Structure 1
Amino acid sequence: MTVILAAKAFGANKICSADLLQKRLDFASEIGADATVLVQPDEDPESAAKRIIKAMGREPDITIECSGSPSATSTGIFATRSRGMLLQIGFSLDSVSIPLVVATVKELDIRGNHSSLNSYPAAIEAISSGKVNVKQLVSHRFPLEESEQAFTVAANKEGYKVVIDCSRPGEV
């Protein structure tokens, strides 16, 4: 969801969010996604890519894959326009099988990025200036004493961003 906020703030003209959960897509629409695609867990990546292209009205110039799902990475390769970019942010396995021939024929620029220290100054500036409002991503807040419940909510994907407040009563 943070990627949607940042992309919108930095000039993306059309954003499509694809997800397995409708409630996440509804929230994506609320915070700036122009189109959404509900992907089925067993859906063929090429089929999902065609639906994304249809929802956007064209192939995306840049695809940002945040889940780390091998299927989602393949979907991104099929969806992205020739000579476009696939930015791989999410990861879950040491190695994945991707349609490399498709990526090569399309001359895709595939880049990996995960918590780059070089991006922190720009991110901090965007948030502190109000250009990106991350507060709207916080769906649940728990006091420290309810940490177990907070972790359960997060693990069950009941919220977007779950905050555990570690301050003590009377502290600021």
Structure 2
Amino acid sequence: MKRGIILPQAIFIDRDGTIGGTDKVIYPGEFQLFPFVEDAMGKLKKSGYLTISFTNQPGISTGDAKKEEYEQELLGFGFDKVYLCPHQHNQGCQCRKPSTGMLLQAAKENNLNLKECVVIGDRWTDMLAAHDAGCIKILVKTGAGEKAFNNYQNHEYFGKWAEVSPDYIANDFQEAVNWIITNINR
């Protein structure tokens, strides 16, 4: 880690493929956490980190699910705060990852310095949003993460996407959390 000692204020965590499910969207009520996520979330809470879900959920704009269903589910998983983008890819919003809108909104509402925050996700869009906001970036290999990692290793990202490099690559969420607790002083 090149940044020196920091005191992370918050951990931003993607939903689909990062804490459960697959690389596909699974709606609330059908979504299953990976077996080790509950314990890992408990470690983050015990260590005093603010845990924030930030997730793209375009099914809200199509009427396939409701924002409140996602919020209730994610708060039930132990998140302190939930930020989600309900828009489709082509709607041009500023909140949909890889844009930084959700991170910026959370920073403003929670008085966070994003340079002192961590993002955990399984997609390169998570890494790009974190990069542009100045956060520490952790890519997990679950969900779409293995493909994203392979694309990264094979130099298959171009333009701005090629500038991004994760600070840590974890096999799963539990390993990411253990790395945070062991390597980032609070």
Question: Shorter-chain TM-score: what band?
Answer: 0.3 to 0.5
Higher Cα Rg: structure 1 or 2? 1
TM-score (norm 1): 0.48
Higher relative contact order, structure no. (Cα contacts within 8 Å, ≥ 6 residues apart): 2
TM-score (norm 2): 0.45
